[in-house]
Copies of this chain bind each other. A is one copy, B any other.
Amino acid sequence: MFEQLGLIGCGLMGGSFALAMKRAGLVKRVVGYSKSPSTTERARQMGVIDVEAPSALLAISGADIVLVAVPVAATEATFKSIKHLLHHDVLLMDVGSTKEEVVQAAQRSLRQFANCFVPAHPIAGKEKAGVEHADANLYHNRQVILTPTAVTSPALLQKAQALWHALGSKVIQMTPEQHDATFAAVSHLPHLLAFAAMNAISNQNQGADFLSMAGPGFRDFTRIAASDPSVWRDIFLSNRTELLAQSQAFQHALQALETAITSGDGQALAKLLEQASTTRTHWTLSSKHLN
């Protein structure tokens, strides 16, 4: 399907994509570049990439598909450094967890080649980052959200859909705005709250004593607070408008509960708790997710 993949960022996400593409027979050659030369070398030694490129620009020379798998905050600089070797028929994708900012960055920096860009967010990952954890199965049975814009080439969008299907992913299409609003609500806000809850405890003198008594409910509630700080710094800053709006909505809901508690209004409190409990009881993990 493709001759040459230009891979910029040979970490967990990018490396797994290269391995999956190779295993599926979807690409003949992978040319890779990572900011750290030792990562690029490691990727070649592991067979994740075939050729090491000395720069992002040279990594895409001759490529008919390019994957930018760098932190969201580094996406625009990457676009700028590769735009001189783009062609209108190159499929360019990212793997970022927020989409409005990268779409704007693409329009600013890619200009006439913004049509190449099919913004992608694969809902996949591992607790451990780095090319050494790259896995050809990472995207299998996972959701991949594509957020094309008005300028996105329909032909390249179709190619992107076919490619992810061929890797065993479930493809969903949304606007960048829908994507960022949705994930602010169901992913970014829960992470923000879990981080805040951990800090609220550890800021207290008795924090360690409290934590020694915490049980299974606490364990599950705070699991996502162990996530990678630099990844989440980028996501929170990149999606700040939607995230802060969701945080406001949350604080209103918390305020309503606190008001009922402060005034001792058991009836109002029970009603609010029933709303939450009923919503959560009826919710089930979509079959789009496997775990």
Question: Could you tell me if A201 and B223 are in contact, using CB atoms closer than 8 angstroms?
Answer: no
Interface size on A, residues (CB 8 A): 88
Let me know if A210 is at the binding interface, CB within 8 A.
yes
Let me know if A150 is at the binding interface, CB within 8 A.
no
Which listed segment binds B: A4-12, A154-162, A227-235? A227-235
In whole Å, how far is A124's beta carbon from the nearest beta carbon of chain B? 10
Docked complex Cα distance between A7 and B185 (Å): 46
Chain B's closest residue to A252 (CB) is B200
Question: Could you tell me if A217 and B224 are in contact, using CB atoms closer than 8 angstroms?
Answer: yes
Identify which of B187, B247, B274, B286 contacts A258 (C-beta below 8 A). Answer: B247
Besides A193-B254, A194-B280, A195-B257, 12 more A-B contacts (Cβ < 8 Å) are: A186-B215, A193-B193, A196-B256, A199-B272, A202-B276, A217-B224, A220-B224, A225-B276, A229-B273, A236-B257, A240-B261, A251-B251
Docked complex Cα distance between A212 and B264 (Å): 34
Q: Given that A218-B190, A250-B200, A286-B213 are known contacts, is A273 also in contact with B195, CB under 8 Å in the complex?
A: yes
Chain B's closest residue to A254 (CB) is B196
Docked complex Cα distance between A72 and B258 (Å): 19
By DSSP majority rule, is chain A's interface helix, strand, loop, or mixed?
helix
Within residues 239 to 291 of chain A, which ones have a CB less than 8 A from any CB in chain B? 240, 243-244, 246-247, 249-254, 256-258, 261-262, 264, 266, 269-270, 272-277, 279-281, 283, 285-286, 288-289, 291
Residue positions of A touching B, CB distance < 8 A: 73, 123, 143, 181-183, 185-187, 189-204, 206-207, 209-230, 232-233, 236-237, 240, 243-244, 246-247, 249-254, 256-258, 261-262, 264, 266, 269-270, 272-277, 279-281, 283, 285-286, 288-289, 291
Chain B's closest residue to A204 (CB) is B249
Docked complex Cα distance between A270 and B252 (Å): 26
16 of the cross-chain contacts (CB-CB < 8 Å) are A181-B206, A186-B213, A190-B217, A193-B221, A194-B276, A196-B256, A199-B279, A200-B246, A211-B283, A220-B221, A221-B221, A225-B276, A226-B280, A233-B266, A236-B269, A251-B254
Question: Could you tell me if B189 and A285 are in contact, using CB atoms closer than 8 angstroms?
Answer: no
Identify which of B73, B197, B264 contacts A250 (C-beta below 8 A). Answer: B197
CB neighbours of A276 from chain B (8 A): 194-196, 198-199, 202, 225, 229
